[in-house]
A and B are shown apart, each in its own frame.
Chain A
């Protein structure tokens, strides 16, 4: 145990094995109590905490290095499990710094090692103080609770393509509600199992379909960008009547709407690209809106002359879709998340709002 060896051990300790890590707190606390008991048996009446911590750290490292060298010599002998002689080898290695009786003898027997004789003497002389506490076995290893396969549970797998030895699905309620928002077909197929689930899933799919329609309409109107606030303000405008008959746009508002055109050609291209990406993705399903968007794009890419053209192309599209948007926008408040718990009255209210809208529009 010379200095070089110690440095090496310290390096290994810091790299592969941390004595001071959080998971070792319990073991280090036990070592501290043991060190304190040993100090007490030796004759100390008190201790500084730093000294006790150092001593407990040395206990831990001593055990660790004995185990390491014993394991090394066992592996050198082609064994997995270490035996007594491996441990004696390890003890001799650790004690070689201080020296022991018979260490210079080349062909000495391990059984007759001076270290073991010292230990035997120590055990014979010292009166052993048992550890102060009952120590449970640690670290605690939790056994994983298995779900069990379809066969073990005695269930039939939901699809023919699922073999029965696979782990069973969890209770459908745990995942059906979440998936219904994002993945409608899956929730529909699962919803077959119980009628109540089926009903709620149907309602949700209807709602999401309506939402999808609404979004497509909005996208077409906004040229691909989704701005809830703007949509709301425009909806209010539309309710007032025909935009051609309404008061002219304020200069500021117009600037806001037209400003992308004033930008240099490069930037405006980027803007249109950015705007058109989500718009195309959705409008691709619906060919009726494609022409309007194309017209808008060409208008945006044009120079100053195109400004008026842009307005003229935009307004008809705005006006032609009024009918669709009014209906769908009118139903928006029903689909707020806070109303979700009132699903019983959902249908009634929807019918009422649709009737109101038809009266207003007429």
Chain B
């Protein structure tokens, strides 16, 4: 293959970049604590003495959760904008950005996680339904 020398050069760059990144992980303190990651990794059968790997998993998890959350935030903002269009008088009340199951399940569906609403029983059909917070 003629691109071999090229890719080997690129590999050297990637190698150094990756090792630099791993070294920089030692200075970071991810939001997800090492102990939690270590606990669940060991529960899954994973074992490694390297702390950097645990940090890497922590960072990857945090990235995943942050992406899901930011998607949910987008959904939340979009829904609020749609509601505000319909009813302007409720504008002040609904301005707070709140993470709800509706938005979360929508954003999680994009990542391949199907989340269903928990079914519940109510004494009257209108219980728990806030017409302002529902699109449908």
Report, as a range, how many residues of chain B touch the other chain.
35 or more
Bound: A1/B63 CA distance, A = 16
Beta-carbon contact of B47 and A6 below 8 Å: no
Beta-carbon contact of A63 and B35 below 8 Å: no
Beta-carbon contact of A80 and B47 below 8 Å: yes
Beta-carbon contact of B49 and A81 below 8 Å: yes
Interface residues of chain A, those whose CB is within 8 Å of chain B, are 1-3, 5-6, 17, 27, 30-31, 34-35, 37-39, 41-48, 50-52, 54-55, 58-60, 62-68, 70-71, 74, 80-84, 87, 91, 97-98, 109, 111-112, 115-116, 118-120, 122-123, 126, 128-131, 135-139
Apart from A44-B69, A71-B46, what 20 extra A-B contacts exist at CB < 8 Å?
A30-B35, A41-B31, A44-B76, A44-B97, A46-B98, A51-B104, A58-B113, A63-B40, A63-B44, A66-B44, A84-B50, A98-B112, A109-B7, A111-B14, A112-B10, A119-B21, A123-B21, A123-B25, A126-B66, A131-B33
Q: A35-B65, A43-B73, A59-B61 are in contact. Are A97 and B96 (CB under 8 A)?
A: no
The answer to the question of B36 belonging to the interface, with a C-beta cut-off of 8 Å to chain A, is yes
Beta-carbon contact of A97 and B46 below 8 Å: no
Residues of A within 8 A of B56 (CB): 84, 87, 119
Interface residues of chain B, those whose CB is within 8 Å of chain A, are 7, 10-11, 14-15, 17-18, 21-22, 24-25, 28-33, 35-37, 39-50, 52-53, 56-57, 59-66, 68-70, 72-73, 76, 96-101, 103-105, 108, 110-115, 118
B50 to chain A, nearest CB (A): 8
Beta-carbon contact of B73 and A42 below 8 Å: yes
A122 to chain B, nearest CB (A): 5
Bound: A26/B29 CA distance, A = 20
Beta-carbon contact of B65 and A138 below 8 Å: no
B106 to chain A, nearest CB (A): 11
B79 to chain A, nearest CB (A): 14
Residue on A with the closest CB to B49? Answer: A81
Contact of A98 among B10, B15, B111 (CB under 8 A): B111
Contact of A38 among B31, B37, B53 (CB under 8 A): B31
Q: A136-B35, A139-B39 are in contact. Are A58 and B108 (CB under 8 A)?
A: yes
B25 to chain A, nearest CB (A): 8
Beta-carbon contact of B53 and A84 below 8 Å: yes
Beta-carbon contact of B69 and A67 below 8 Å: no
Residue on A with the closest CB to B98? Answer: A46
Residues of B within 8 A of A42 (CB): 66, 69-70, 73
Beta-carbon contact of B11 and A67 below 8 Å: no
Residues of A within 8 A of B68 (CB): 55, 58
Bound: A37/B58 CA distance, A = 14
Residues of B within 8 A of A130 (CB): 29, 31
Q: A46-B97, A128-B29 are in contact. Are A67 and B45 (CB under 8 A)?
A: yes
Beta-carbon contact of A64 and B43 below 8 Å: yes
Contact of B101 among A50, A67, A74, A128 (CB under 8 A): A50
Beta-carbon contact of B69 and A39 below 8 Å: yes
Residues of A within 8 A of B108 (CB): 54, 58
